[in-house]
Amino acid sequence: MEKGILVAFEGIDGAGKTTQVHLLGKALKDAGENVIVSKEPTDGAWGQKIRKSASTGRLPLEDELEAFIQDRKEHIENLIAPNLAEGRIVILDRYFYSTVSYQGSRGADFEEVEKNMKEFAPVPDMVFLLDIDPETSLKRIAELRKEIPNQFEKLETLTSVRKVFNAIEKTDDEIWKLDGKKSIELIHNTIKNLLLDNVLHKKRCAKDYQCQDFINCSFRLSEECDWYKLNKKLRPNRDSFTETAFIQD
């Protein structure tokens, strides 16, 4: 699992997660990486039960949490763990941070929920939290998705969920908060930039100690370094990455 990379996208509904998931997946595939894109809730039996409740009425707190746990355990066993073991990059549209935040918004002890999740779920190498205000979220859902907000997308719920997301972002080093109101392109470039300088450098650099002598690196000069090749494809002009959507609290 040394070369496997797990990346998750989080945020309230309408934050732009799915758009960024697909943009990143395509960029990495085009750069030669073996990428798997997935989502939670999944399309399995437990995931379908959760999705159905979004329109018919949310399950009781304990039942809803149990459904998320069972759905995630199947997801990890059937897709996440095997692909990480094969050295692939797994990109998730929502993960256990959503469970922590949405259950926390209903009164669950979100710190305890997160602790329980991390006992069986792999912690991602990086998590991108797209942060927007609930008013913008609901406007996007209505105008862009042309949908009526479901049971998970009420103003009061989204306001509470956002607070929990921002609370765990302050304690979890793997979470990187981005301004979800910035342009799609700027957010995408910021994500690529952060990935290249962090987990991709760590796991794709030809040298285990991640040599910082970029100019004189023999692996770079011979183009034998996977990270250098990714860098050229994902960030051909570093000057274009000077602006950022990253929020540093």
Q: Domain range spanning residue 145? A: 5-241
Closest of 131, 166, 102, 124 to residue 20, by C-alpha? 131
Residue 153 lies inside a defined structural domain of this protein? yes
Decide: helix, strand or coil at residue 33.
coil
What digits encode the pLDDT tens for the residues 36-59?
999 999 999 999 999 999 878 889
The pLDDT value recorded for residue 145 is: 67
Q: Is the dihedral of CA 249, 144, 10, 110 positive or negative?
A: positive
Residue 59 lies inside a defined structural domain of this protein? yes
The pLDDT value recorded for residue 223 is: 73
Q: Is the pLDDT of residue 188 over 60?
A: yes
Residue 249 lies inside a defined structural domain of this protein? no
Residue 248 lies inside a defined structural domain of this protein? no
pTM (global) more than 0.85: yes
Residue 246 lies inside a defined structural domain of this protein? no
Residue 144 lies inside a defined structural domain of this protein? yes
Closest of 15, 8, 26, 27 to residue 182, by C-alpha? 15
Amino acid at 34: N
Say how far apart CA 70 and CA 162 lie, in whole Å: 24
Say how far apart CA 220 and CA 216 lie, in whole Å: 8
Amino acid at 62: E
Closest of 172, 80, 175 to residue 120, by C-alpha? 80
Q: What is the CATH number of the domain that holds 60?
A: 3.40.50.300
89-93 β-sheet, strand order: 35-39, 89-93, 5-10, 126-131, 175-179
What digits encode the pLDDT tens for the residues 61-112?
999 999 999 999 999 999 999 999 999 999 999 999 999 999 999 999 999 9
Sort strands 175-179 and 5-10 into parallel, antiparallel or unpaired. unpaired
Please count the structural domains in the chain. Answer: 1
What digits encode the pLDDT tens for the residues 208-234?
655 666 665 766 656 778 998 999 899
Residue 247 lies inside a defined structural domain of this protein? no
Residue 198 lies inside a defined structural domain of this protein? yes
148-175: burial string, b at 16+ Cβ within 10 Å, e else: ebeebbeeebbebbbebbbebbeebebb
